Each structure stands twice: as C-alpha cells, then as structure tokens.
Structure 1
Amino acid sequence: MDALYAVEQVHIPQELGAIMKQYTKAILRDEPTDVYKYSANFFAIISGRCPPFDENGVYVEDEYASTQSNDKVNTPTPVPRQDIIGEIFQKYSRNNADTASLEDLPHILKEIVTVMGLKEDDLPPVAEVASVLHTEGDFIDLLELRQLLFEPEP
C-alpha cells in the first residue's frame, strides 16, 4: 500500500516551529472561548494586519478595536519582538555561545523577515550585513547582529 504522502513530498518551513510554539503559548495563556476567532486575530496580528474580530467576537472589516474585556475572545497578546528574535538566534546559536555560522546568516535574516511579517527591503541585504559584522573565523556574534538590526544608533 502506497502512502498518500511520502516524507520527501512534504515540505515544512523552518519558521513553522517557532510560529506554532508562539501560537500554542498564547492559546494556553489566554484560554479563548472561541478558538477560531482568536486564531484569526492571532495570525492577523503576527502577519502585520488588523485583527478581523473585535473583543466581542464581532467581525469588523478594517477597524481595530483596542479596548479589551475579560471575556477571553479579545485579541491575543503579541509576543514581544525580543522573544521572537531570541528564539531564532537560539535556533542558530553554536553551543549556546551567542555565535552562529556565517553560512547561517541568510537563513537567520530570512526567518526574521518571515516571522516578524517584514518585507525583504525592511532589512539590509545579507552581503551588507556580513560586511559590517565582526567575524571570528566563520562565526558571527548574534548579539552584535541584534544590535545592528534592531537597536537605534545613538
């Protein structure tokens, strides 16, 4: 009997794990009464769009209801940016030493763009980032990368 899908046929994006972990934590923390509406709001927020449902679960087209109530159908609390970036960096970290392979830099930047809902143009090109970072052999400092990308210059 042939399997409908072989392992080779199923492509699972690398960033899916981080997204699902974030989603699961939010569901467990907020305990929504309507998981479907909560999920729609959650994924709209992480993709940079306005939530489709207000705090009462009423569909709203392009308006964002910022008041929240305790009925557990309200918009999910977005995970802080530093947590998302930290998870990505931890994934690529070499022995938890806050360094990563220079080869991984394109993957790190692509995952940041995807998970944070950015456009490709929102981050500098890989070659530009690599030329600015100090390298130790073939390794980059992830703390320096974080500062370069997300902390304003004084």
Structure 2
Amino acid sequence: MPVPDVMFCAQQIHVPPELPNIMKQFTKAAIRTQPRDILQWSYGYFSALSNGEPLPVKERVEMMVATQKNDSGLTPGLLKVLHKQLSKKETLSIQELQIKWKNLCLPVEQLHNLLRLDNFADGVSWMKFFALGCSALGGSLLSSMKQACEILTDDPEGGPARIPYDTFAFLYSYLAGLDEEMPQQEAESFLSALKEQVARKDYMVGVADFSVNRMD
C-alpha cells in the first residue's frame, strides 16, 4: 500500500524551547571564528556541544597581520582554541589531534610539518605540540615565547601576559633544545637569571620580563 501523505500544521511541529538560543549562540560563534569550511566546522561545533566539550570557537574575530600571506593557517586564536580543547590530556593520540585540527579547518600539511619536528610515535605531548605551534606563529624564540605568554595568560587583554615560571621554562627549554644554534648552557643561564628576576613576583613571567638581547 502506498504511504499516505502526511499533512503537518504548526500545532504538530514541536520546536524545543532551547533551539532558538542554541542557534543564536552558534551564529555568533561562526561570526567570531569565521571558519573556511562552515560545514566541517559546524560538525565539530555540534559534536563538542553534544559531548560537553570546549567548543571550537575563537574568543574574538582575528584580523590578519602584515606577515600573514593568507588566513588559511594556524593563528593565535585557533591555537588557543586547540589548547582549551586538548590541554586536559598531557598526552593524546595523533588521531585526536587530527580530528580537532580538521574541525578548525586547518591545513593538514601544516599539521604534518609540525609533527615532523619531533618523535610523537608514542603519543603527542600536548605542551610540546603547543610550543611547536607557537614557533610556527612566532618565527623566532622571542616571538614564540611572546605568543605562548599571550595565549596562556589569565591576565586581561593588554595586560602583562603573565604565565607561571615553570610553564615558561618548559616551553623555552623545549624550543631552545630544538634550535641547533642555541647552546644549552646559554639557555640554562637565561632561565636561571629569569628565575631570580621573577622570584619577587610569585614566579610569574610576563612579556616585559624578557628582552630581545637576552633571548635571541
């Protein structure tokens, strides 16, 4: 027998009362994040929402800077999103990282290039990968550490961008260790001097606490 036609009227369609607010927040998130692939990003957004996970949403719209050739790669805002999503795990699988990376519509080639900089065969140490992301954004050790401070800080925008000394020391030591031109003794001397400098500040390191001459 043929399936009878079903007539729907407004009274028959149930719209959950929370749906308008969900769609409003989704629209605002899409405007702030401006994903290259709205369908892929939407999949990641609603997957995270349904699982109670941090959403793939930037805090604000990012403007391109003069050094960026295009807006298709990693940005400070997107690295901050990844940090919120993945930092709860000290070590994660490459597959987990790939999924979050893809849902932010980031180039797969850039991810592969970053992963090649270290041996992550037994899993990805998030803070090491975070450091590599900062190096991709910064270009130099100084700029990379500034990016790290500005992304990780709890200070308000425009503030000193402070982070704990131990976190700074870990990121700095890791990136310095990958730099073949950076003597280990020089890196250790810098951190020792910095530790003494910030001891009076509850061991918090801000961007103003280090200079070009001492790091590069």
Q: Which has the higher contact order (CA 8 A, sep 6+)?
A: 1
- TM-score, normalisation: structure 2: 0.27
- TM-score, normalisation: structure 1: 0.35
